[in-house]
Each structure stands twice: as C-alpha cells, then as structure tokens.
C-alpha cells in the first residue's frame, strides 16, 4: 500500500493558519476565529473530508469579503472599529489600503488554488479497506 505524503502547499496553508491563530490569541482579538482556525488545521492534518469542505468554504467566503473590502475601507475609521468591534487604538491608514487589499487578494487566490488542486484533493481521499483477510 502506497503511503501518501502531505502536499507542500497544504503544509504552507496550515502554517499560515497557525501563525494567524497564534497572532489572534496574542492580540486578544478574534479568539473564536483563532480556535476555529486551529480546529481546521487539526482536521486537515487528520485527513478529514469535512476539512476540505471547510477549507473551500473559507476560501470562497474570504473572496466575497475581499470584494466588499474596498467599500469597507472607504468608510471612516470609527465606523470600521464599530463594525468589526476593534479597539479604537487600531487605526486604518488610507495609505496602506492598496497594500492590504493586494496581500489579502494574493492570499485568497493562493488559498482557492490550493483548496481545488488535485494533490490536496488526493490528500483528503481516504482509502480504507475493511477486508481483514488478505
């Protein structure tokens, strides 16, 4: 029986998710999102088929959110802080809007590509053989 190695792109995505979750815990914002990211990474390591579906849904929702991002950034910073429930000390400078949107869109494109690639789909395909007599 051939043992399947975890794809490098999936390892990259898991490491990004773990770094994001740890930073959310350290900054004490989005703790629930951090817990969900850790659960997602554990499910990805465990080859759960639901993790692939969650990964795809997460990437699609991120793309939808990204399409609303320019509108959100065009609002004043007080309404953004109230909308996202962020502390008022976190300010949004308009000079970094293009950089933030470009980084988020590149990550979203990579995430969509990774979640629909053949190697990642093969990682989540579990071939169990219930035949005990070989």
Q: Does residue 113 sit within a domain?
A: yes
Q: How far apart are CA 76 and CA 122, in angstroms?
A: 45
Q: What number of H helices and E strands is found in the chain?
A: 6, 0
Residue 3 within any structural domain of the chain: no
For the question of whether the overall pTM of this predicted structure is more than 0.85, the answer is no
Q: Is position 131 within any domain?
A: no
Establish if 24 belongs to a structural domain.
yes
The residue range of the domain holding 117 is 8-123
Position 58 in a domain:
yes
Q: Is residue 118 part of a domain?
A: yes
Task: Give the chain's domain count.
Answer: 1
Concatenate the DSSP letters of all residues of 49-67 into one string: HHHHHHHHHHHHHHHHHHH
Please write the tens of the pLDDT for every residue from 35-84: 999 999 999 998 888 899 999 999 999 899 888 877 776 766 665 555 55
- Is residue 40 assigned to a domain? yes
Cβ neighbour number for residue 35 with a 10 Å cutoff: 13
Residue 129 included in any domain: no
Q: Residue 17 and residue 120: Cα distance in Å, rounded?
A: 16
């Amino acid at each position: 029986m051939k043992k399947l190695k975890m794809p490098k792109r999936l390892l990259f995505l898991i490491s990004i998710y773990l770094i994001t979750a740890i930073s959310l815990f350290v900054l004490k914002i989005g703790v629930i999102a951090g817990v969900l990211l850790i659960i997602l990474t554990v499910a990805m390591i465990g080859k759960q088929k639901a993790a692939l579906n969650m990964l795809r849904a997460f990437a699609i929702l991120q793309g939808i959110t990204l399409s609303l991002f320019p509108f959100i950034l065009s609002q004043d910073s007080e309404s953004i802080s109230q909308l996202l429930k962020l502390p008022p000390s976190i300010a949004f400078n308009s000079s970094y809007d293009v950089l933030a949107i470009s980084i988020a869109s590149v990550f979203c494109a990579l995430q969509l590509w990774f979640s629909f690639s053949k190697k990642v789909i093969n990682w989540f395909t579990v071939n169990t053989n219930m035949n005990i007599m070989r």
